[in-house]
Amino acid sequence: MTYDAELDATGLLCPLPVLKARKRLQALQSGQVLRMLADDPAAIVDVPHFCTEAGHDLLDMADTDKAQIYLIRKG
């Protein structure tokens, strides 16, 4: 899937990945997609919750050896 912006939040602990995602999404237009990398175990819960609360769509969530990848469409 294509995306419009990328955020590398690896090495950051809760709540920083979500806070950085919120700030990065503010710069995007509605409908644009952010690809975010995170390795904080809490992000698996925090990112979907953030998307629901903020009105964004979590398009995909995948695990790799080093991080999780989230694709978030700005609401």
pLDDT 10s digits, 42-61? 999 999 999 999 999 999 99
- Which residue in the list 14, 59, 61, 71 is annotated as catalytic? 14
Q: What confidence score (pLDDT) does residue 52 get?
A: 97
Distance separating alpha carbons of residues 27 and 63, to the nearest angstrom = 26
Q: What confidence score (pLDDT) does residue 42 get?
A: 96
Structural domains in the chain, CATH included, are 5-73 (3.30.110.40)
Burial (CB count <10 Å: 0-12, 13-18, 19+), residue 14? middle
Distance separating alpha carbons of residues 38 and 36, to the nearest angstrom = 7
Q: What is the reported pTM?
A: 0.95
8, 68 from 35: Cα distances, Å? 8, 10
The yes-or-no answer on residue 51 being catalytic is: no
